[in-house]
Amino acid sequence: MSTQDPDGEQPTDQAAATATHEVSRDDRQAHEAGAKDSLLRADNVVAGYVPGVNILNGCDLYVNDGELVGIIGPNGAGKSTLLKAIFGLIKVSSGTITLRGENITGLKANRLVAQGVGFVPQTNNVFPSLTIEENLQMGVYQAPKKFKQSFEFVTGLFPALGDRRAQRAGSLSGGERQMVAMGRALMMEPSVLLLDEPSAGLSPALQDEVFVRTRQINRAGVSVIMVEQNARRCLQICDRGYVLDQGRNAYTDTGQSLMTDPKVIELYLGTLAKAQ
């Protein structure tokens, strides 16, 4: 039986873990201080897809009201796994996840949506046989009376969705589908939105649009936690960033500070970021 998760993230080889990735006492204290009044926080999260084989090995994260937080790192670092752990899609072996001080660890996705957590998966994130409007209706399945008000809010952010509301989602481009997926997740008026690699597979022009739209959503009052492979672009727009490696926090700082940190550039951003 394979221990690799569906997104290609690998279980940690404990022998390969180095002291660089261990959470120091100072890091813990900094996390505790920053997360004190946070909207959502994760503490010492250990989780994986197969019992006894962990992808995450003590991750910490928090997001404040109105923040845009980015998560970057190499393939297999546990980035998507962390979002899935927060959203109740995989079992958390230890550690806690709280929303406005309430423990939400292990809650099912439908309960998390009702409590204000939205999630946009990387793939299979629209209903292709349904129209744009019907996809957005699915976003308020638990509260259909919200549709009119939420539809106005979402189409205010994404006017093209309103203009093309009768078009089937399956006929849209990849970038347009991503807008529909984001819009559907916003229909329940979440306080925090989890985005799993929203620019993956898109052309450079459409990637730029996704980042612009993400910042626009954030400025509309929604806190955002975004996992991204396009590390440099992610750090450009986020307020704070986390670098994960081997299922642990490797670096945490503002987006701008991480983008200019020599170690982060050398280890994670590569020669393109170094040249720029």
Confirm whether 23 is domain-assigned: yes
Q: Region 241-264: what's the mean pLDDT?
A: 95
Return mean pLDDT, the chain: 89
Q: What is the pTM for the complete model shown?
A: 0.88
Domain membership of residue 7 (yes or no) is no
Domain that holds residue 115: 14-275
The string of pLDDT tens digits covering residues 211-249 is: 999 999 999 999 999 999 999 999 999 999 999 999 999
Q: Report yes or no on 72 lying in a domain.
A: yes
Alpha carbon distance, N-terminus to C-terminus of the chain: 43
Strand 240-245 to 192-196 pairing: unpaired
Residue 8 lies in a domain: no
pLDDT of 127 reads 97
Give domain status of residue 1, yes or no. no
Is pLDDT of 26 > 90? no
CA distance 161 to 49: 36
Contact (CB, 8 A) for 49 and 24: no
Tokens of 88: 């109740």
Confidence of residue 2 (pLDDT cuts 50, 70, 90): very low
Quick check: is 267 in a domain?
yes
With a cut of 80, say whether residue 8 has pLDDT above it.
no
Over 50: is that where the pLDDT of 119 sits? yes
- Residue 6 domain-assigned (yes or no): no
- Give domain status of residue 238, yes or no: yes
Q: What is the pLDDT of residues 38-54, one digit of tens each?
A: 999 999 999 999 988 99
How far is the C-alpha of 185 from the C-alpha of 125, rounded, in Å?
A: 10
The yes-or-no verdict on residue 159 having pLDDT over 80 is yes
Q: Which residues pair with 196 in a beta bridge?
A: 227
Q: What is the CATH number of the domain that holds 89?
A: 3.40.50.300
Residues counted in the chain = 276
Number of structural domains in the chain:
1
Secondary structure string (H, E, C) spanning the chain: CCCCCCCCCCCCCHHHCCHHHCCCHHHHHHHHHHCCCCCEEEEEEEECCECCECCEEEEEEEECCCCEEEEECCCCCCHHHHHHHHCCCCCEEEEEEEECCEECCCCCHHHHHHCCEEEECCCCCCCCCCEHHHHHHHHCCCCHHHHHHHHHHHHHHCHHHHHCCCCEHHHCCHHHHHHHHHHHHHCCCCCEEEEECCCCCCCHHHHHHHHHHHHHHHHCCCEEEEECCCHHHHHHHCCEEEEEECCEEEEEEEHHHHHHCHHHHHHHHHHHHHHC
